[in-house]
Structure 1
Amino acid sequence: MVDEVQNIILELTSQISSWDSRYQSISNSGIHSDHLKVLAPSQLLVTVPLQGLTGFRQRRSRRWRYYTPSGVRLQTPVMEPEKLHQWLEVEQFQKSTPQWHEADVNIQGDLVPARVVNVFHGLLLRAIPACNLSDRVNVMDSIGPIIRVNVETSIQMVDVDLAPVVEIPGSWPKTARWPRFFKRWPPKDKERCVKSFGFDLIARTNYHWQLSFLRAERLLLEGIDEDGGCRMKCLRVVRQLKEDVWCPANRPVITSQHLQMILLWECEQNPSSKSWMDFGSCFLRLVRRLLKCSRQRFLRHYFVRRANLLKNADANQLDNLADKLARFLQSPSLNLASLNGHSSTC
């Protein structure tokens, strides 16, 4: 399913890139592509790289600026920026192609996500019939700048969120104060490797670019159980139970992204290899942390601690999830034996 979706999006973005070179075609690098994230069985996130912006330089915090869709500057803010949000100016890049200075994406020197998404949306509507994919790809109505398409695969229908992204390798945002002092996980060489891959800025809101660390998260989890631990095994089983029992919805309140954050926090809190040798206790530790996050409606971002990943989550869905988790934890031994025996297929 993932391979089919990736091939379809690859074809569409290749066509779009031939029309507008600012939008790059996604790479075809298998199911572990940096540009594709499986959030749930029928929900994917695909980031579309933007070209022509290199040599990023961070700037000190400045007063936020806001505009109407027509480009009129507003004197008062329309919304409070989240901790993961960042403003972006063309001048922050040492090199930028002339197209990024054009009014379709630029307002008074600022790259506005809503405009970048709007241009991409128009190109996508042209590309679908041009690629003869009208019978397989349908652009859904969405609120805000998120582009959501419904893709028909040979297995099932899949919701795909498409988001333009500025990739910033070799740099690390000041708001991501990581690694934290006096923490023994991850190892120092892993820390340096993760930070060298940099971060991304995704166009997910009208006014602000959203910090993203998908590459960093993938690198942290890569080879994480070389010491013989069961971290990824626990993650797979929790994810399977979430998808089958606790959050079976098409667009669940808790995604695989949230579960990865929970695992990263657990790894930092329990850095020794001995802490990850017993599947049963480790599995229950993850479930208890998931229950705590659901009840408190609070999950810290692993790299930007002040950001709450559940701030805008549906409260009723979180409460329902917490009830199911609490009932499960009352008698978890009923399931641990079968889970331990079958987790390799989850």
Structure 2
Amino acid sequence: MKSFTEEAVEQYIQNKVDLRHRIVSKTVAEVQQIIQQLTTDISNKDARFQAISNSGIHNQNMKVLTPSYFLITVPLLGLSGYKESQVRHWRYYTAHGAKLLSPVRDPEELQQWLEVEQFSKSIQQWHETDVNIEGDLVPAKILTVFRELVEKSITSCKLTDKVSILEGFSSVVRVAVETPAYQVEVELVPTIEIPTCWPRKIKWPRCFRHWPCQDKVQCVKSFGFDLLASSNYHWQLSFSRAEHILMEGLDEDGGCRMLCYRVMRQLKEDVWCVRSKPILTSFHLQMVLFWTCEKYPHSKDWRCFHTAFLRMVRKLHKCVSQRFLKHYFIRDTNLLKYANTNDLDVVAGKLAVFLENPILPLECEE
């Protein structure tokens, strides 16, 4: 262990943070190549699914949630001209089409229904019963089609020694990808990309906030949002492009925001939350970063790494202790709502210990 001095931080960055970046970049390239091959074959079998691009670690279809747990969105084609639904009505069907006597629950804040008529242009395949019930595009049915395609393409691409389907309780499609270094779990999520449109219910930015600047706000909103097929009935809103734009140029004023984020992410993986599929991911830390940037919008707030970093860790500790972390764009959504409370308490305890005596590990701790 080393005290939290400037020299120790510099050494930690060189020995751990930069090393992580090199390892993850290599793993991303390997996984991306395999998934591109897989999704290209899937797209050839069913034109509704688009192959992912192979554009390195900054691929906007890929989120590295941990070094061994990736989320990859697979764009859906044949739907364009999105408009928000004006009429609310109840649904009385199961995810497989059977009739119900009572209606299905309404979506939560981060979710919504999706009707094919919300698109001014849609190819005939989206009206077929394999994905559509009473005019709704149903994620569970799309995931069933997609899973079958993934299984077939693993075989037809001769990837059975590198890729295997992971079974689970949900309909989400997860695969294990073997790389030379280690196994990576990949969640493959069919996604409708809706560029240039911002959801009306997302009231962002909040009034009287000075971060980000107005030009950045307009830029962020211009990239729109996505709808992810990751549950049975409801489509999940995602703002991955908006998040990417916010992360770009974060320290144009010479601040240390990105450095704080990278060191905090490394400590999370080394000490606070060491499992391969932990309760906190880089996405949660990104939300903490955004909230902290909004609360401390001025350049002077980010000149001293030590002060800025501990401020972010205190914010993380507060969120984990209270088991409440707001989504940056949807403030009423708790990203820790379904997290295991015992696991959160363990992480909160480790964060409290760190804040009492901030030290950096020389080696990874178990």
Which category of TM-score, normalised to the shorter sequence, fits these structures?
over 0.9
1:232 aligns with 2:249: no
CA contact (8 A) 2:107 2:113 kept: no
1:28-70 per-residue CA deviation (whole Å, 9 max, x = no partner) reads 1111011000001110000000000000001236134252243
1:216 is aligned, of 220, 235, 242, to: 242
Instruction: Spell out the pairing of 1:57-136 with structure 2 (5 A cutoff).
Output: 57-60=83-86, 62-79=88-105, 81-136=107-162
**Aligned-pair CA distance for 1:175:** 2.0
CA distance 1:66–1:42, shift in 2 (3 Å): farther
**AA matched with 1:60:** Q
What is aligned with 2:30? Answer: 4
Matches of 1:110 and 1:78 in 2, distance apart?
13
What is aligned with 2:276? Answer: 250
Matches of 1:300 and 1:42 in 2, distance apart?
25
Aligned to 1:229, the other structure's residue is in SS state coil
What is aligned with 2:179? Answer: 153
**Aligned-pair CA distance for 1:265:** 0.4
CA distance 1:263–1:271, shift in 2 (3 Å): same
CA contact (8 A) 1:64 1:87 kept: no
**Aligned-pair CA distance for 1:231:** 0.2
What is aligned with 1:138? Answer: 164
Matches of 1:79 and 1:150 in 2, distance apart?
32
**AA matched with 1:40:** T
1:220-265 per-residue CA deviation (whole Å, 9 max, x = no partner) reads 0101101000000000000000001100001100000000000000
Aligned to 2:321, the other structure's residue is in SS state helix
2:205 is aligned, of 172, 175, 179, to: 179
Instruction: Spell out the pairing of 1:275-294 with structure 2 (5 A cutoff).
Output: 275-294=301-320
Matches of 1:23 and 1:119 in 2, distance apart?
10
User: More deviation in 138-147 or 37-46?
Assistant: 138-147
CA contact (8 A) 2:191 2:227 kept: yes
2:343 is aligned, of 300, 314, 317, to: 317
CA distance 1:248–1:64, shift in 2 (3 Å): farther
CA distance 1:249–1:172, shift in 2 (3 Å): same
User: More deviation in 82-91 or 59-68?
Assistant: 59-68
Matches of 2:261 and 2:108 in 1, distance apart?
28
1:267 is aligned, of 286, 293, 297, to: 293
What is aligned with 1:343? Answer: none
Matches of 1:102 and 1:34 in 2, distance apart?
29
User: More deviation in 77-86 or 278-287?
Assistant: 77-86
**AA matched with 2:318:** K
1:156-189 per-residue CA deviation (whole Å, 9 max, x = no partner) reads 0000001000000010012211111111111111
1:48 aligns with 2:93: no
1:286-322 per-residue CA deviation (whole Å, 9 max, x = no partner) reads 1111111111110000001111100001111100000
1:167-223 per-residue CA deviation (whole Å, 9 max, x = no partner) reads 000100122111111111111111111100000000111010000001100100101
CA contact (8 A) 1:65 1:73 kept: no
Q: Point out which structure has higher relative CO (alpha carbons under 8 A, 6+ apart).
A: 2
1:195 aligns with 2:221: yes
**AA matched with 1:255:** T
1:67-99 per-residue CA deviation (whole Å, 9 max, x = no partner) reads 224312323245453210100000000000000
CA contact (8 A) 2:221 2:242 kept: yes
Count of aligned residue pairs for this structure pair: 336
Q: Percent identity?
A: 57
Give the TM-score normalised by structure 2: 0.90
CA distance 1:170–1:140, shift in 2 (3 Å): same
Matches of 1:320 and 1:182 in 2, distance apart?
36
2:330 is aligned, of 301, 304, 308, to: 304
Aligned to 1:162, the other structure's residue is in SS state strand
**AA matched with 2:340:** D
Matches of 2:106 and 2:232 in 1, distance apart?
12
What is aligned with 1:344? Answer: none
Matches of 1:49 and 1:73 in 2, distance apart?
30
Matches of 1:78 and 1:109 in 2, distance apart?
15
What residue ranges of structure 2 are gaps of 5+ in the alignment? 1-26
